[in-house]
């Protein structure tokens, strides 16, 4: 493809993120010949790269249907799989990449696409079958982390260590890769060697390793690293919090730095992980409950711990909002919310401090954020003061039958009794407190509570 070739120019422009100019060239070529496979295929890739996966899927499907050589059709199908993954249509994505592999089974990029999709779907046995079907995967550097994780999930810890050591031989490990390596070392009885290696790791690296283990449900392994971190830095609030959680010692809240670092590290994968893998639907369910109580048009609305904007977008879908404000500790999550849109203002601040300056709110919401708060009275009190008379505070929490529990995950769980007592003390009426399936965690569904409180038309509970 020469430099004067229009498709070459479009490709160069796409690589420079000049998507509008790149797609204009492709569209011009397609006006002359709608069956130009290269122009149609590249247009689909440009749409995918520029964040328009719906149009990308349409163009890539059309490209794959054109009468071209199998290897070209396979390329279009592989890219279609990637675009479908952006739309979280994973089963369709799996079908597309399997079709691509049926046409060109020896293409390493297709094999990696297939492997990563199986990882997203957590199909560990299928990953093992894929390595038998495509033996070359076992030698690919980019496959080793996924193969290690899948082997560990299947109880093949020695195989997991071999894969991650192979990856380690290529160079320094990324954060999650380092966590997987440390976990494999501990699970295969190499604790002494790992602890010696930890002497050369920074506190930030140690916390990343311990957090990874905790997120993978390997609590005992994570505590070894958290204790090492606390020994090195006795003031480390995150390590202290997780150790306290393991023995049920309840503090006021999770340390702000711990929460901030946790979500900054996972901002880009947050929605895919929470919605698709963990079957998280709290924002949609909470909005359904709010819709039964409030009119279609709402004035000022606050989203506490707004994250990437899942709740904000659900609110915008169901209501006409005069103003939607988001607040979060994590700058990484706020950037995701900013990119996805929906908010009139986003604030990088601790939620209680920010909410204490707000007035005349019609609705305050908080999904999957009060799990980092122990006693709920302070946030309920400040919400009560920020709401208009008749305004609602709607939120979700993880549930427990005891009054209040700090789980080994580092997250708090609250009972209906705790919520009812604290809401009354804060001058709020408890309208509803409904148990629901919150999210998957290590193969088990975690139970939550959907809660809606209202500030009375006339203040109660000793308010002035």
Structural domains in the chain, CATH included, are: 6-104 (1.25.40.10), 172-249 (1.25.40), 270-454 (3.40.50.150)
- Measured CA to CA, the distance from residue 353 to residue 431 in angstroms comes to 26
Tokens of 121: 């779907």
3-state secondary structure 383-397: HHHHEEEEEEEEEEE
Q: Decide the pairing of beta strands 444-454 and 429-441.
A: antiparallel
Nearest Cα to 451, choosing from 379, 347, 378, 367?
A: 367
- Identify the pLDDT of residue 319: 95
Q: DSSP E strands: which ranges in 196-344?
A: 297-304, 320-328
Helix axes 219-232, 203-215, angle to 10 degrees: 160
Banded pLDDT at 282 (limits 50, 70, 90)? confident
- Measured CA to CA, the distance from residue 451 to residue 462 in angstroms comes to 23
**Are the CB atoms for 228 and 198 separated by under 8 Å?**
yes
Q: What is the pLDDT of residues 124-180, one digit of tens each?
A: 999 999 999 999 999 999 999 999 999 999 999 999 999 999 999 999 999 899 999
Q: DSSP E strands: which ranges in 330-463?
A: 345-348, 361-366, 387-399, 404-406, 412-414, 429-441, 444-454
| Whether residue 462 has pLDDT greater than 50 | no
Name the phi and psi angles at 320, rounded to 5.
Answer: -100, 110
Residue 132 region, left (φ>0) first, then alpha (ψ -120 to 50), else beta? alpha
Mean pLDDT of the region 280-290: 90
Q: Decide the pairing of beta strands 404-406 and 412-414.
A: antiparallel
Q: What is the pLDDT of residues 360-390, one digit of tens each?
A: 999 999 998 999 999 999 999 999 999 999 9
Furthest C-alpha separation in the chain = 79
Contacts 24+ apart (CB under 8 A), 36-41: 37/63, 37/66, 37/68, 37/72, 37/76, 38/7, 39/7, 39/10, 40/66, 41/72, 41/75, 41/76, 41/79
- Identify the pLDDT of residue 461: 47
- Measured CA to CA, the distance from residue 90 to residue 118 in angstroms comes to 9
- Measured CA to CA, the distance from residue 361 to residue 304 in angstroms comes to 12
| Whether residue 243 has pLDDT greater than 80 | yes
Report the DSSP beta bridge partners of residue 328.
348
- Identify the pLDDT of residue 170: 93
- Identify the pLDDT of residue 295: 95
Range scoring the smallest mean pLDDT among 24-28, 245-249, 362-366:
245-249
Banded pLDDT at 27 (limits 50, 70, 90)? very high
Banded pLDDT at 445 (limits 50, 70, 90)? confident
Nearest Cα to 379, choosing from 428, 344, 331, 343?
A: 428
- Measured CA to CA, the distance from residue 11 to residue 317 in angstroms comes to 36
0.85 cut: is pTM over it? Answer: no
Name the phi and psi angles at 2, rounded to 5.
Answer: -75, 165
Nearest Cα to 254, choosing from 171, 357, 145, 370?
A: 370
CA dihedral 46, 51, 52, 53 (to 10 degrees): 90
Helix axes 256-265, 237-247, angle to 10 degrees: 100
| Cα-based angle 263, 268, 270 (whole degrees, multiple of 5) | 60
Tokens of 17: 């993120």
């Amino acid at each position: 493809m020469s430099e004067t070739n229009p498709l070459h120019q479009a490709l160069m422009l796409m690589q420079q993120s000049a998507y509008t100019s790149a797609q204009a060239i492709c569209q011009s070529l397609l006006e002359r010949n709608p069956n130009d496979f290269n122009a149609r295929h590249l247009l689909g890739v440009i749409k995918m790269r520029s964040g328009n996966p719906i149009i990308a899927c349409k163009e890539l499907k059309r490209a794959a249907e054109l009468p071209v050589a199998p290897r070209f059709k396979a390329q279009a199908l592989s890219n279609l799989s990637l675009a479908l993954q952006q739309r979280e249509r994973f089963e369709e994505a799996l079908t597309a990449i399997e079709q691509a592999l049926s046409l060109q089974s020896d293409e390493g990029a297709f094999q990696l696409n297939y492997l990563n999709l199986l990882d997203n779907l957590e199909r560990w046995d299928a990953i093992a079958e894929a390595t038998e079907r495509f033996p070359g995967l076992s030698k690919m550097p980019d496959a080793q982390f996924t193969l290690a994780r899948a082997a560990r999930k299947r109880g093949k810890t020695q195989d997991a260590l071999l894969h991650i050591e192979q990856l380690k031989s290529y160079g320094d490990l990324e954060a999650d890769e380092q966590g997987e390596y440390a976990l494999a070392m501990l699970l295969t009885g190499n604790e002494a060697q790992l602890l010696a290696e930890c002497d050369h790791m920074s506190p930030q690296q140690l916390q990343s390793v311990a957090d990874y283990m905790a997120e993978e449900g390997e609590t005992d392994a994570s505590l070894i690293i958290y204790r090492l971190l606390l020994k090195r830095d006795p003031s480390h609030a995150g390590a202290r919090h997780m150790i306290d959680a393991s023995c049920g010692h309840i503090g006021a809240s999770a340390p702000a730095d711990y929460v901030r670092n946790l979500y900054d590290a996972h901002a880009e994968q947050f929605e895919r992980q929470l919605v698709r893998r963990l079957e998280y639907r709290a924002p949609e369910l909470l909005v359904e409950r709010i819709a039964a109580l409030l009119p279609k048009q709402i004035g000022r609305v606050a989203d506490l711990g707004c994250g990437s904007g899942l709740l904000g977008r659900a609110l915008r879908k169901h209501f006409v909002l005069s103003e939607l404000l988001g607040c979060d500790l994590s700058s990484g999550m706020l950037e995701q919310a900013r990119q996805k849109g929906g908010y009139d203002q986003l604030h990088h601040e601790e939620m209680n401090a920010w909410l204490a300056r707000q007035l005349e709110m019609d609705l305050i919401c908080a999904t999957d954020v009060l799990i980092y708060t122990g006693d709920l009275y302070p946030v309920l009190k400040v919400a009560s003061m920020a709401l208009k008379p008749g305004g609602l505070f709607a939120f979700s929490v993880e549930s427990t039958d005891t009054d209040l529990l700090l789980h080994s995950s580092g997250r708090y769980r609250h009972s209906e009794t705790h919520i009812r007592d604290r809401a009354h003390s804060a001058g709020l009426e408890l309208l509803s407190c409904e148990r629901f399936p919150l999210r998957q965690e290590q193969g088990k569904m975690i139970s939550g509570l959907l809660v809606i409180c209202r500030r009375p038309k006339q203040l109660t509970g000793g308010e002035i």
